[in-house]
Structure 1
Amino acid sequence: MAMSRTKPAPAPTPTPAPALAAEKRQPSSRPAPRPGPLISTDQPPLLTGRLKLILAVLLVTQFMLAVDFSILNVALPAIGDGLGFSLSNLQWIATTFALSAAGFTLFFGRIGDLIGRKKIFIGSLALLGLASLAGGLASLAGGLATSPEVLLIARVAQGLATAAATPAGLALLTTSFPEGPLRQKALGINGALMSAGFTAGAILGGVLTDVLSWRWAFFINVPVALAVVLIAPAVIKESRPAARPKLDLPGALTVTLGLLGLVYGLTRAGEHGWSDAHALAGLIGGAVLFAAFFLVERKVDEPLVPLKTLGRRNVAWGNLLGMLAFVTETSLVYLLTLYLQKTLGFSPLSAGISFGVLGIGTVVGGLVAPRVIARTSTLTALIAGGVIQAVFTGVLLFLGTTTGAAMGLLLPATFLGGIGNMLVIVGFMVTATSGLPDKEQGLATGLASMAQQVGITLGTPIMSTVVTATTAGVATASAIHHGVTVAIAVNTALVLVGVVIAAVFLRTRKTEAAPR
């Protein structure tokens, strides 16, 4: 009843004249129900200096992590010559990294919820810097028999660091920016830089390999990781759920081993064909472990991935679309690297520079995507982006063996396809992390990061399998051109599958442009 006596105080000022006077003297005393929403609607540009600094630290980190995925792709032939990798084993340099990055993402995402995302973020970057240093030093061994093993161990350590840093960084970003236009803008810039990082990695790899040595593709990480480790503790606040969750060890083990089995099986199939016993064992083992994972998650009190959350339409289908987006675009870089170097005879430097146009396209797409979502919906961004990507990936089917004509087709097609792909990626990030409370953001970003890592991991083995099966092991320029063409057709089909999934299963999912 004490409340009922305090209410009449503001009530005696209902007349227009006192209201105007009161507005000048004490603006906060007016209820002002209508101006409130208008102010919050116009608030998205309100990015404080601290938020800008947080965003800068997180974006630099995500960019560096993205660079790591592709920086060695262009340098693979040089690494093979220097360390004695066979042609069939070259892809393990990229796959060992991506395997550990994909397999342990959910596990480290939950560890971040337990001990704090900031701690995991900073610790993983320190590990990444040390692993990069070790990877670069491995090259000094030259032709010694142990050099390939040392390099692969360093790549595994880099992958584990990425598995920890990516979901932690993304969770810090989504919890620092409230859901709505501000978060969409942050995710748009993050997506643009992340995708640009893949392209920049290809360019940097080519430049460093031609001008210096491929070992500098490792060393380039060290100063960036060091700078972030020194700056982040003063800028980023600790983030963890109020209620500390328990570690679902059986769930973490089954999903991690399932991912490892699946990727290993696909990689073996790419090298030795689908009838290979090891490939079949990996694929069947992965499927069994995934089934066991779902059974475990139904029974434990605090599951690694609550099936209720995974059952949300935006989480389940959004992450599937994200995985397809990363499968198609990152594997396309692999296919075009083969085409440029093996069919057109480009050097690593020239091939890397050729991907600059794709990088510009992804940056443009990342900047445009939040505006498209704000004016329409995530569904529009997902479908329009997928259609654009499919059309301009399909155009690459007409690539020939003449350099001038091929580049006249490849450059504009990759630019426009990159815009479409980035619309899908930003749409997926917004879709998969929206409508969830902050306490579930670690899980949501862990799932989104896993979709990203798995897509990147599976893309190269899948397309490598297609190329190998089409060429039947023949490595002539014309055979590789034919194999790449068939793989591009498969790539285009996968993009169209994503468009259909978005249109059918996310047709009612819309992201509101303004806060309520």
Structure 2
Amino acid sequence: MPGGHRRSVAGVTTLAPPTRHRTALAVLLTASFTLAVDFSILNVALPTIGTDVGFGLADLQWIATAFALCAAGLTLLMGRIADLAGRRRMFLLGMALLGAGSLLGGLATTPAVLLTARVAQGVATAIVVPAALALLLGTFPEGPARERALGLNGALMAAGFTTGAVLGGLLTDLLSWRWAFFLNVPVALLVLIVAPRVLVERPAEQRTRLDLSGAGTVTLGLLALVFGLTRAASHGWTDAPTLLAFAAAVALLAAFVAVEHRTAFPLVPLPVRRRRSVAVGNVAGALAFVTETSLVFLLTLYLQEVLGYSPLGAGLSFAVLGLGTVAGGLLGPRVIGRFGTRTAIVGGFLVQAVATLSLVLVSEDASSIWLVLAATFVGGVANLVVIVGFTVTATSGLPENEQGLATGLTTLSQQIGITLGTPVMSAVVTAAVLGGAGVLDGVTTAIAVNGALCLLGAAVVAVFLDGRSAARR
């Protein structure tokens, strides 16, 4: 066989490297891309789903919220469970749950069934994404090969979010929103067939027990935080249940910190808590996802409310952003190899800030679309350089038995960023409009805030990330 040879292990024929590595990478990237698409594929279709299944207008948000609550709230716990129970086993379990949940969603005729399906997809995401990333790190040793793999993973994750918006519109217009669920079923089956033959993991050091107190407090705290963020997007930041959710999140996360300091088996071990690269890297990652995903929201508002684009037309406009993210995913490892992770992240944030801030010049003139296309392409490239850099920074230099935790933290940063960005920028737009500004002025004000967050990300990394741990490779 070109590129590899066959060997028999325990009576089972498997593929030897490097063919097995390439196939394993394809399997892991396919799973990650599919789950990234699920974050946004139903957004355009929500009104149609509400009519077909029986959701009231005020309840439509739960189709997205049920997914986000589980995907973000459970990801740290699932990443640690993968360390103990085995990442390969958890990956396969998550893909099976994704297939079952997606089939149920496609067949749903009542709100309860559809929400059950979305919960299953969210739990599957919390299981699969950190396990897949940990398996990817285990397949490729630290260095250029791993950075290229992380670049592809980051590019497809970001492109998946954009693709979901476009694909959701196409499927709803041409076929049915149900195909947004059904498409996951053959993908899950294919992954479940191929993955057992190509995914391997080195035995990890087993701990005697899971930190149940820490797991309970952090999971409930994250669930409260994500609920507060998603409710703020629809009910405002001063809504009583929103404020109560934020208060509960603060109390529970504070309890988690206290538990971690006194337990013999902490969910987040002390060496990980003390590692600056993990903390700073994840702050950068959260800001990267906050800024780019919320910019998609702002530009969707601009394209539809100011320039009069249809939802499908607005979605198709982001194809250029998708191309930029793919290019950035390919470019990121080269930039890191040449300049180091700190310089790559800082430079990426600065270029993204310039591209974003140029969008404050958009107007009611139809020709502004050319500025939108150019800025989103450049910003997409820069954003992916940041994402690759943050992933390398936050997952390098850790022992094998803590890789699942590290990837759980990076996944958590990603999902909190996606969840946080839209309600924050929506609040900025709403405040500007209520203050007497038009939609265009509200959008450009929020774009300026978005660009400022990019500059903040650059400053945080430049000041706090140790240059020695982010040196040129």
Q: If the length of structure 2 is used for normalisation, what is the TM-score?
A: 0.92
User: Deviations along 1:480-503, whole A, 9 cap, x unmatched?
Assistant: 434333322222222111111011
Supply the AA of the counterpart residue of 1:122.
Answer: L
> Is contact 2:229-2:419 (8 Å) kept?
no
Matching of residues 21-60 of structure 1 within 5 Å: 48-60=18-30
Structure 1 residue aligned with 2:93: 123
The residue type paired with residue 207 of structure 1 is L
Query: For residues 116 and 342 of structure 1, what CA distance do their matches in structure 2 show?
Result: 48
How far does residue 510 in structure 1 lie from its aligned partner after superposition?
Answer: 4.4
**In structure 2, the residue corresponding to 1:242 is in which secondary structure?**
coil
What is the alpha-carbon distance in structure 1 between the residues aligned to residue 321 and residue 335 of structure 2? 20
Paired residues of 1:135 and 1:155 also in contact (CA < 8 A): yes
Which residue of 427, 452, 465 maps to 2:427? 465
How far 1:238 moved relative to its partner?
4.1
Q: Does 1:409 align with 2:371?
A: yes
CA offsets 1:324-378 (integer angstroms, 9 cap, x no match): 1111111222222233233333223212211110000001111011011111110
Aligned to 2:382: 420
User: CA separation in 2, counterparts of 1:269 and 1:473?
Assistant: 19
Does residue 488 of structure 1 match 2:447? yes
The residue type paired with residue 106 of structure 2 is G
Residue identity matched to 2:41: I
For residue 457 of structure 2, what is the aligned residue in structure 1? Answer: 498
**8 Å CA contact retained: 1:432, 1:448:** yes
Q: Residue 7 of structure 2 aligns with which residue?
A: none
For the Cα contact (< 8 Å) 1:209–1:348, is it kept in 2?
no
Whether the aligned pair in 1 keeps the contact of 2:277 and 2:469 (CA below 8 Å) is: no
Pair 1:88–1:240, CA change in 2 (3 A): farther
- Name the CA distance, whole Å, in 2 between partners of 1:343 and 1:214: 27
Aligned mates of 1:268, 1:293 — CA distance in 2: 23
The one-letter code of the counterpart of 1:502 is: V
SS at the partner of 2:204? coil
**Aligned counterpart for 1:99 among listed residues 69, 79, 95:** 69
2:116 aligned with 1:157? no
Secondary structure at the counterpart of residue 237 of structure 2: coil
Match of 1:335 in 2: 298
**Offset of 1:294 from its aligned partner?**
0.4
- SS of 1:331's partner is helix
Amino acid at match of 1:283: F
Q: Is the 8 A contact 1:181 1:513 kept in 2?
A: no
1:260-308 Cα offsets, whole Å, 9 max, x none, are: 1112223333333333211111111101111100000011111111233
**Aligned equivalents of 1:179 and 1:259: distance in 2?**
31
Q: Which residue of 2 aligns with 1:310?
A: 273
Pair 1:375-2:338 in alignment? yes
Residue identity opposite 2:82 in structure 1: G
* 1:444 positional shift: 1.0
Q: Match of 1:441, as an amino acid?
A: Q
Residue number among 149, 158, 164 corresponding to 1:201 in the alignment: 164
Q: Structure 1 regions of 5+ residues with no counterpart?
A: 1-46, 142-146
Give the CA deviation at 1:49.
Answer: 1.3
* Cα distance between partner residues in 2 of 1:454 and 1:110: 18
Aligned to 1:319: 282
Equivalence for 1:70: 40
Give the SS at the match of 1:400: coil
Matches within 5 A, 1:13-412: 48-83=18-53, 85=55, 89-138=59-108, 141=109, 147-402=110-365, 404-412=366-374
Structure with greater Cα Rg: 1
d(CA) in 1 for partners of 2:162, 2:433: 27
Query: What is the alpha-carbon distance in structure 2 between the residues aligned to residue 504 and residue 200 of structure 1?
Result: 35
- AA paired with 1:490? V
Does the 8 A contact of 1:118 with 1:239 survive in 2?
no
Alignment: residue pair count: 458
Give the RMSD, CA atoms, in angstroms.
Answer: 2.1
C-alpha displacement of 1:53: 1.0
Give the distance between the partners of 2:282 and 2:30, measured in 1 at CA.
Answer: 24
Deviation at 1:456, TM superposition (A): 1.4
1:303 aligned counterpart, secondary structure: coil
Q: Which runs of 5+ in 2 are unaligned?
A: 1-16
Kindly provide the amino acid, as one letter, of the partner of residue 231 in structure 1: V
2:200 aligned counterpart, secondary structure: coil
Q: Which amino acid aligns with 1:388?
A: V
SS at match of 1:237: coil
CA deviation map 1:128-180 (0-9, x unaligned):
11111121222xx3xxxxx3333222212111100000010001010111111
Moved more, 330-339 or 274-283: 330-339
Q: Could you tell me how far apart the structure 1 residues matched to 2:440 and 2:172 are?
A: 24
Q: For 1:89 and 1:465, how far apart are their aligned partners in 2?
A: 20
Whole-angstrom distance in 2 between the partners of 1:250 and 1:353: 46
When residues 472 and 128 of structure 1 are mapped into structure 2, their CA distance, relative to the original with a 3 A threshold, is: farther
Q: 1:449 aligns to what? A: 411
Asked if the contact 1:181/1:374 (under 8 Å) is kept, the reply is yes
Q: 1:354 to 1:510 in 2, by over 3 A?
A: same
Task: Label 1:341 to 1:83 Cα distance change in 2 as closer, same or farther (>3 A).
Answer: farther
SS in 2 for 1:94: helix
Displacement of 1:201 after TM fit?
A: 1.2
Which residue of the partner structure matches residue 11 of structure 2? none
User: Which is worse superposed, 304-313 or 342-351?
Assistant: 342-351
Given residue 110 of structure 1, which amino acid in structure 2 is its aligned partner?
R
User: Which amino acid is 2:445 matched to?
Assistant: V
Partner SS state of residue 367, structure 2: helix
Residue 396 of structure 1: how far off its partner (Å): 1.8
Q: Equivalents in 2 of 1:184, 1:313: separation in Å?
A: 20
Contact 1:206 1:351 in 2 (8 A): no
Please give the alpha-carbon distance, in whole angstroms, between the structure 1 residues aligned to 2:400 and 2:67: 30
Q: Do the aligned partners of 2:21 and 2:198 also contact (CA within 8 Å) in 1?
A: no
The letter for the 2-side match of 1:121 is: F
User: CA-to-partner distance for each residue in 1:198-248, whole Å, 9 max, x for gaps?
Assistant: 111111112112211222111111111110011101111245512345211
Give the TM-score taking structure 1 as reference length. Answer: 0.84
